[in-house]
Chain A
Amino acid sequence: EAGVAQSPRYKIIEKRQSVAFWCNPISGHATLYWYQQILGQGPKLLIQFQNNGVVDDSQLPKDRFSAERLKGVDSTLKIQPAKLEDSAVYLCASSSFQTSGPSYEQYFGPGTRLTVT
C-alpha cells in the first residue's frame, strides 16, 4: 500500500514570496490533515478535511494560508505572502473515516521543509 506522498520535500523562498505544497493521501482515506511542525516541537494542526469539506481550520492563519481539497483526494496548502516565522516542516496526514470510537490512526507523509529567508 502506497503511503502519503508530499512534494516538494524542500523549499527555500524569500519573505513575501508565495509557496504551495501538495499532498496525495493514502487511497480511500477520507480524512486529510495539514500540520505545521516547528523544529523540535510537536505538530500543530492547521486544517482538517473530511472528503472535500473543511472540518476544522481554527488554527489556520487565514490572512496568508489557504488550503483546498477540491475532489476529495489530493490537497494543496498555500502560503501567500510568506513570513520568516513560517519556516517549518509542513506535514500532511490521512486517516480512514470513522463516525465514533477511540481516536484513529493517522498516517503521515515525509513532510516539506520550508525555509523563509
Chain B
Amino acid sequence: TQLLEQSPQFLSIQEGENLTVYCNSSSVFSSLQWYRQEPGEGPVLLVTVVTGGEVKKLKRLTFQFGDARKDSSLHITAAQPGDTGLYLCAGGPYYVPGNQFYFGTGTSLTVIP
C-alpha cells in the first residue's frame, strides 16, 4: 500500500506551458517535502512546507500544503527543459526516532524544447 499517491505519473509538455503535480494521502503529515531527481543522481530537496494551507514560491515553482495536511501540489509556470526530471513528494512526521519518512510514487516530467 502506497501512503502517498502522486498524479499524474507521467507528464510531457511543451516549453512555456504550465503544469500542476498533485500529492495525495489519507494520512496527516506534519510536513511535506518536494524533491527533484535527475537521471543518475539522488533526489534534491526543493522545499519543505509545514503549516496547513501554506504556500511557498521558488522562482517559477509554487508549492501548496493542503489545509488538512493530507495533500500538496506543485505548480510550475512557463516550464523549461531544465525542469525535466522526476518529482517526488515526501511526507514526514515530527521527528521521532523510528518514524519513517514516506516518499510518493513520483511524477516523471519531460519538457520538450
Binding site for B on A (CB under 8 A): 4, 33, 35, 40-45, 48, 50, 55-56, 58, 91, 93, 98-111, 113
Contact = CB atoms under 8 A, between A and B. Distances in A.
Contacts, number: 79
Given A40-B106, A101-B95, A105-B48, 7 more contacts: A35-B103, A56-B100, A91-B42, A99-B95, A106-B101, A108-B41, A110-B40
Contacts of A99: 95
A53 to B, nearest CB: 9
Residue of B30, B45, B90, B95 contacting most chain A CB atoms (<10 Å)? B95
B95 A4 contact: no
Given A102-B30, A102-B48, A103-B95, A111 B41 contact: yes
A81 B40 CA distance: 25
Interface string B87-111: 0101111111111110111101000
